[in-house]
Amino acid sequence: MPARRSSLWRNRDFNVFWLGQTLSVLGGSITLLAMPLLVLEATRSVVQMGLITVVTGVTGIATGLFAGHVVDRTDRRRLMIACDLSRALLLGAVPLIWLAGPRIWVLYVLTALATALKTLFDVAYVTAVPELVPAEDLTAANGRLMGTFAVGTLCGPAAAGFIAAGVGADWALGVDGATFLVSAASLRWVTFGRHGDPERSAAGRRGAQPPPYGAARGGGVFVVG
């Protein structure tokens, strides 16, 4: 008997989710280079550039201690949309703030807030895939998301370099903010639980863990079938 053709390409919810996160992963990879570069431009201090990375790591670890508790008790789609919109506002404000002159303290506060939001998003993201695809398509879905993540992390820093050289690192962060708007809009068109296995989804929620804090964006961890 011939193998059943995967229905993944006909799965509207997953494809909308995947396309929205593809652009957002690219934007998150832009910030990985643009944020330290903006700190260096503002302070001329390599130490300050390193400290912004420390803030990212410490905030991610601290938020990870309670992120699973929050995700288990909230509507994940609404939580992910709220995280995206909040990050869009934070990052989109940087170019406007920079018009009045560099404010290095703003970057530290922004980094801490954005990292906390990212960690919450990532934990919710981990549980999303089993609710978007049936069990037989889970491996293919994970493979597509992982491939997208790899391409995004490869192209993002290059894009950040071009944007920073052309209009400034602050506008590179603004571009990332715009990608979060796209992600939030795409999530509005996604229905969780329509295709996935409810028991598998519940198991994913119980075992959800945040991704590595150095990973770009919310698409760095995938649920393995």
Output the DSSP codes for 145-156. Answer: HHHHHHHHHHHH
Residue tagged 């209009």 (tokens): 167
pLDDT confidence bin for 218, thresholds 50/70/90 = very low
What is the model's pTM? 0.79
pLDDT confidence bin for 187, thresholds 50/70/90 = very high
Give the torsion through C-alpha atoms of 201, 203, 206, 212, to 10 deg.
-80
Residue 201 predicted with pLDDT over 60: no
Cβ neighbours of residue 106 closer than 8 Å, sequence gap 6 or more: 94, 97
Output the DSSP codes for 19-54. Answer: HHHHHHHHHHHHHHHHHHHHHHHHH--HHHHHHHHH
For Cα atoms 18, 23, 27, give the angle at the middle one, nearest 5 degrees.
140
pLDDT the model gives residue 87: 94
As a residue count, the chain comes to: 225
Output the DSSP codes for 96-133. Answer: HHHTT---HHHHHHHHHHHHHHHHHHHHHHHTTHHHHS
Return the number of other C-beta atoms located less than 10 Å from residue 44's C-beta: 9
Q: How far apart are CA 30 and CA 133, in angstroms?
A: 29
Across 178-219, the runs of DSSP E, i.e. the strands, are: none
pLDDT the model gives residue 213: 36
Residue 211 predicted with pLDDT over 60: no
Domain boundaries, the chain: 16-207
Residue 193 predicted with pLDDT over 50: yes
Cβ neighbours of residue 197 closer than 8 Å, sequence gap 6 or more: 130, 134, 135
Q: What percent of the chain has pLDDT over 70?
A: 83
For Cα atoms 84, 146, 141, give the angle at the middle one, nearest 5 degrees.
90
DSSP count for the chain of H helices, then E strands: 8, 0
Torsional class of 190: left (φ above 0), alpha (ψ -120 to 50), beta (otherwise): beta
pLDDT the model gives residue 81: 94
pLDDT the model gives residue 113: 96
The residue among 100 and 223 whose pLDDT is bigger is 100
pLDDT the model gives residue 197: 52
19-70: per-residue pLDDT in tens? 988 888 888 888 888 999 999 999 989 999 999 999 999 999 999 999 989 9
Tell me which of 63-67, 81-85, 217-221 is least confident. Answer: 217-221
pLDDT confidence bin for 216, thresholds 50/70/90 = very low
pLDDT confidence bin for 6, thresholds 50/70/90 = low
Residue 208 predicted with pLDDT over 80: no
- Mean pLDDT, the chain, as a whole number? 82
DSSP summary character for residue 192: T
111-155: per-residue pLDDT in tens? 999 999 999 998 888 778 888 888 888 888 888 988 988 888 888
CATH superfamily of 16-207: MFS general substrate transporter like domains (1.20.1250.20)
